[in-house]
Amino acid sequence: MTTNVFRRATTLAPALAIGLLWSFAPDHADAQLRRIAIGSNPAGTNYYVVASGIAKLLQDETGIPSTVRPFSGSSVYMPMLQRGEIALGINTQIDSQSAFMALDPYPVSMSNLRLIAAMMPLRDNLMVRAESGMTTVDELRGKRVVVAIRSNVALERWHWTILATAGLGPDDIDMVSVASLPDGVRLLTEGRVDAAPIGIATALARQAEATIPGGIRFLGIGSDESALTETVPGAHVDLFTPEMAAVGVPEPTRLVRFATYLNTGAHLGDDDAYLIVKTIHQQWELLRRDYALLSPVPADDIAPADSPHPYHPGAARYFREAGLWTDAHEQNQARTLAIAAQ
């Protein structure tokens, strides 16, 4: 257990010294958020776009200075959420589950991890050069494929799952490891790999489309969709049409998605968490209008009942008041809190 890692008396001075982006008001029993930093993946990714929108909304509506703090990947700032060194962070369903349950690459449970709200579905799929002629994952046998992202280690499990829908494993491809998602896209642009993962409709995908002669294409998944849901419960397959994507989908293509979460740590004050989630939920239609990534998600869907880690109590209080908290939420909350207490 690492629940005692964050101790106000021993960490306040170091936190101020290194310029952490959130702090407590002194001599208050309850935490008072003075500044909000939202951890995200690098500029050009879906995370960065959505984190920027959330930061702008929170600052405009609450008056609390709010900024995006980009990192090379979410695996980098997950421990910071655990230790209370950053207020919020956008994480994948996969990374959240892995961190909370102490699955690879996390050697111990990030038991302080708490959910504020679900964000957009993330469609992280494998992208190739359109001139390659490949249309599905099945055609990657023997090819150079970016699978491991060192700054977002949990995504490797997702990429192997995509390949498994076509019956492909480590012996069937030439696996490539990169430091970050942008690095993988760069290698594809330079012709040094045959496929790289990236989110659909991201700035990086559009950049690759503009840079690579003939543009890019996202590969449809293989026929064994059970391989996807068995490894990543809650993952979905959608028939994506050209009008649903900015680039890379010239014809209807079966692509995959999973959830993303706006997370915090158990150290965040209940009133602060309540204010954050209330602001986001009540202004969700504004976010949907301004950010296409959020447009498929109705306001009430930001409170899923099957999250792999507990809601922050302040968020749970708001969702109860808003009428979104069900018996299923209560059961899942009890189950995940029991895991956190182990």
pLDDT at 6: 33
pLDDT at 125: 96
C-alpha gyration radius of the chain: 20
Please report the domains of the chain, with CATH numbers, ordered by start residue. Answer: 8-120+260-341 (3.40.190.10), 124-257 (3.40.190.10)
**pLDDT under 50: residue ranges of the chain:** 1-31
pLDDT at 340: 95
Note the Cα 55 to chain centre separation in Å.
16
The reported pTM is 0.74
pLDDT at 152: 78
342-to-7, 264, 266 alpha-carbon distances in Å: 20, 20, 15
Residue-wise pLDDT for 151-171, tens only, equals 878 789 899 999 999 999 999
